[in-house]
Homo-oligomer: A and B are copies of this chain.
Amino acid sequence: MTLPRQQPPSLRVGAVGYAFMGAAHAHAWRTAGHVFDLPLQPAMVALCGRDAAAVAAAAARQGWAGVETDWRALVARDDIDLVDVCTPGDSHAEIAIAALAAGKHVLCEKPLANSVPEAEAMAAAADQAAQRGIRSMVGFNYRRLPAIALARQLVRDGRLGEIRHVRAGYLQDWLTDPSFPLTWRLLASHAGSGALGDLGAHIIDLAQYLTGEPVTAVSGSTTTFVTERPVQGWVGHEPRGRVTVDDAAVFTARIGAGKTLGTFEATRFAAGRKNSLRIELNGAHGSLAFDLERLNELEFHDHTADQLTAGFRRILVTEPGHPYLSGWWPPGHVLGWDVTFSHEVADFVRAIAAGTDPEPSFADGLQVQRVLDAVQRSAASDSAWTPVPPPGG
């Protein structure tokens, strides 16, 4: 007996880019509809990349029905409802704006862009598109971790009280060795910035999301520990090339209207820390701590509880009532990093079906871009405190 098709109407997806982020998004598009009851069923229509052979191989591997080698052709297709932008940051603005203009919903990887003007143009395009029912979302996927979503609930429910400290770091170690080659991520022309935009953008977004407040000013520094690296042929003819982005960025921030103090550190030189995003919030009534290397856990200290039995409790965020857990496994059967994308696309699909604007919006992405920009300007000005224009400003 062949199954009669009772599927919901489909949402036809085309993606640009198939490397790390592209593979992760493809996994999500393949998975979300099988885990959650979605009002629209994602259909993986086409994958776009410049190298015809490579994109065909990637499409076959990742499960896309077709391929394109020019993103303009992808954007122009009638049989595509949504464009998923997984390219390096320097092409985000052009592709996303064109896709929105063509009436496609757009999911764009973070950081939204490589500069504030690009991000402003994207946010403006998203606003206009929204008036025509076209939705857009920027891929700050860590908001969709069950532990982070639970943390947001606890903050919103007042379990932390007034928040005094946000302490965030995102530490990796893949540049520790000076012989690691020069890649596009180490060139400002492609990547915009280094650890700051790649890693710092995540923790800025998380800090703003979890507190519900924007960063209003920063004092920051950036450093490049290894200024030249071996070239792997494709960049030029010199044996070594110049690293034009930061290796590490640290900054202090004021968050919201009150006195919340934020500290941020992003680096690719923390030997032994593979993907160590940690964030801690300390409030008048409680504290939270999270570590991406143990992403199924959230630590919560209830400062209003009996002092003799108080302490950070390790919540295993795998209970049926926890955010996003309804579609997954019984308690204690832990989830992987990839679910952030499955949850992201599920939320986006639901918003499209519901006719609502999903979060994080391009405006949220712009706000993060403004913080990144303020950090760079502060770093260039002897770390002077530099205001961040308010959201919507």
Chain A residues packing against B (C-beta within 8 Å): 1-4, 6-7, 20, 23-24, 26-27, 30-31, 34-35, 37, 46, 56, 59-68, 150, 154, 164-165, 167, 169, 171-174, 176-178, 219, 221, 223, 225, 248, 250, 252, 259, 261, 263, 265, 267, 269-276, 280, 282-287, 292-296, 300-303, 307-316, 318-319, 321-322, 329-339, 382-385
Which of B37, B67, B267 makes the CB contact (< 8 A) with A3?
B67
In the complex, are the beta carbons of B337 and A274 less than 8 A apart? no
Q: How many copies does the complex hold?
A: 4
A301 CA to B171 CA, complexed, in Å: 14
Docked-complex contact A223 and B173, CB < 8 angstroms: no
Query: Quick check: A313 and B316 within 8 Å, CB to CB?
Result: no
Chain B residues whose CB sits within 8 angstroms of the CB of A339 once the complex forms: 336
**Could you name 9 residue pairs across A and B whose Cβ atoms are closer than 8 Å?**
A3-B65, A167-B169, A171-B282, A271-B301, A272-B311, A272-B312, A294-B294, A295-B334, A309-B313
**Chain B neighbourhood of A336, CB < 8 A:** 333-336, 338-339
Complex Cα distance, B272 from A1, in Å, reads 44
Which residues of B have CB within 8 Å of A303?
173, 176, 271-272
Query: What is the bound-complex CA distance between A339 and B329, given in angstroms?
Result: 13
Contacts of A315 in B (CB 8 A): 308-311
Closest to A339 in B: B336
Are B329 and A24 closer than 8 Å at their CB atoms? yes
Closest to A77 in B: B1
Complex Cα spacing A295 to B293, Å: 11
C-alpha spacing A34/B61, complex, angstroms: 5
Q: Are B263 and A265 in contact (CB under 8 A)?
A: yes
Residues A174 and B312 in contact in the complex (CB < 8 Å), given A34-B30, A63-B34: no
- The answer to whether B261 and A223 have CB atoms under 8 Å apart is yes
